[in-house]
């Protein structure tokens, strides 16, 4: 089975965000594989273990993303591809999906797995956009995947309910929490990963003209939410506190 994962290097979720000169300040920040993409990598490796084949992880990003690709290789992916998009100024979900679509044009993927959303930009657009561009089916927010021959039976999370879907390969799926428990790279895995192929592509290699992947949206300002003023810690007998809270919510906050 020809299995692909699209993944992204993102800010660690434990990081505070601050803004410097109109940009998110990345100085000294820890980066990770987008947590939802980890589910995709784990599921891809599980599929390969059950059905055979090869797992290729692909990212659109800068040189720094090599580190996260190596982590995916250490988890068990077979090969990695880094598509360098530094020539695209302020790309958006359209840009990324278009670049990936050019990459996948001649790939004959049976299944492409992605995270359902990234924890940074959180547009959730790249997966479904890519599927449309490739003319294949996409199933989003999946929590279970069973593949038998050409058929996939999928469970997806729909706001807490489960939808059970049947579809044919080739398919793109986006992964939701609950799908699996991503494995940690083992020490032998890390050693092997150093020797696994990591290919670097420029837009030229994919015959992409920068103008064709130019963003269709533009960010004009970044800002931080207003800091909250200190709240009121209630005191006294616990029964009194509960009564006071109920009354404050009713008369002061007016939310009940």
Partner 1 sequence: MPKVLVLGEIRQGELRNVSFEAIAAAKQVAKGGEVVGLLLGENAENLAKQMIQYGADRVLVSEHSDLQAYTPDGFTQAVLQVVESEKPEGLFIGHTSIGKDLAPRIAAKLKSGLISDAVNLEVSGDDVVFTRPIYSGKAFEKKVVTDGLLFGTIRPNNINPLEKDEARSGDITLVDLEIKNLRTIIKEIVRKTASGIDLSEAKIIVSGGRGVKSKEGFKVLQELADALGGAVGASRGACDADFCDYAMQIGQTGKVVTPDLYIACGISGAIQHVAGMSNSKVIVAINKDPEANIFSIADYGIVGDLFEVVPLLVEEFKSVAVN
Residues 61-120 touching partner 1, rule: CB under 8 A, are 92-94, 97, 119-120
Query: Binding to partner 1 by residue 50, rule CB under 8 A?
Result: no
Residues 205-224 touching partner 1, rule: CB under 8 A, are 214-224
- Of the residues 31, 78, 125, 196, which one makes contact with partner 1 according to CB under 8 A: 125
Query: Binding to partner 1 by residue 169, rule CB under 8 A?
Result: no
Tokens coding 55: 């797992």
Q: Least distance to partner 1 from the beta carbon of 83, Å?
A: 18
- Of the residues 61, 91, 124, 182, which one makes contact with partner 1 according to CB under 8 A: 124
Angle at the Cα of 101 from the Cα atoms of 98 and 106, rounded to 5 degrees: 150
Residue placing its CB nearer to partner 1 in the complex, 41 or 82: 41
- Of the residues 8, 9, 32, 36, which one makes contact with partner 1 according to CB under 8 A: 36
Taking every pair of Cα atoms in the chain, the longest distance, rounded to a whole number of angstroms, is 72
Query: Binding to partner 1 by residue 121, rule CB under 8 A?
Result: yes
- Please identify which residue in the block is written with the tokens 């469970």: 155
Rounded to whole angstroms, the Cα distance separating 102 from 9 reads 21
Residues 135-164 touching partner 1, rule: CB under 8 A, are 137-141, 143, 153, 157-164
Rounded to whole angstroms, the Cα distance separating 172 from 157 reads 16
Query: Binding to partner 1 by residue 17, rule CB under 8 A?
Result: yes
- Please identify which residue in the block is written with the tokens 């993944």: 7
Residue placing its CB nearer to partner 1 in the complex, 187 or 233: 233
* Beta bridge partner(s), residue 34: none
Rounded to whole angstroms, the Cα distance separating 106 from 10 reads 28
Q: Least distance to partner 1 from the beta carbon of 53, Å?
A: 22
Rounded to whole angstroms, the Cα distance separating 120 from 13 reads 9
Q: Quote the strand ranges of 62-123, DSSP E.
A: 79-84, 111-115
Query: Binding to partner 1 by residue 191, rule CB under 8 A?
Result: no
Residue placing its CB nearer to partner 1 in the complex, 78 or 133: 133
Residue placing its CB nearer to partner 1 in the complex, 53 or 121: 121
Q: Are strands 137-148 and 151-158 parallel, antiparallel or unpaired?
A: antiparallel
Report the chain's terminal Cα–Cα distance, integer Å.
55
Query: Binding to partner 1 by residue 29, rule CB under 8 A?
Result: no
């Amino acid at each position: 089975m020809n299995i692909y994962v699209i993944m992204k290097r993102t800010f660690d979720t434990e990081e505070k965000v601050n803004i410097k000169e109109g940009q998110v300040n990345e100085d000294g920040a820890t980066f990770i594989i987008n947590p939802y993409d980890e589910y995709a990598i784990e599921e891809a490796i599980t599929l390969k273990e059950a059905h055979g084949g090869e797992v290729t992880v692909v990212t659109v990003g800068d040189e720094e993303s090599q580190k996260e690709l190596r982590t995916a290789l250490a988890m068990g992916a077979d090969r990695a591809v880094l598509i360098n998009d530094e020539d695209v100024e302020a790309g958006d979900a359209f840009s990324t999906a278009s670049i990936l679509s050019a990459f996948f044009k001649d790939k004959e993927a049976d299944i492409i797995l992605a995270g359902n959303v990234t924890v940074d930009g959180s547009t959730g657009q790249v997966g479904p956009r890519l599927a449309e561009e490739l003319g294949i089916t996409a199933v989003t927010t999946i929590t279970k995947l069973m593949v038998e021959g050409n058929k996939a039976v999928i469970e997806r999370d729909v706001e807490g309910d489960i939808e059970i879907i049947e579809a044919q390969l080739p398919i793109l799926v986006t992964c939701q929490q609950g799908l699996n428990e991503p494995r940690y790279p083992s020490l032998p895995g890390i050693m092997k990963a150093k020797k696994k192929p990591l290919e670097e592509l420029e837009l030229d290699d994919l015959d992409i003209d920068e103008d064709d992947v130019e963003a269709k949206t533009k960010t004009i300002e970044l800002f931080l939410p207003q800091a909250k003023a200190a709240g009121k810690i209630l005191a006294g007998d616990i029964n009194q506190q509960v009564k006071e809270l109920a009354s404050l919510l009713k008369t002061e906050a007016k939310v009940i």
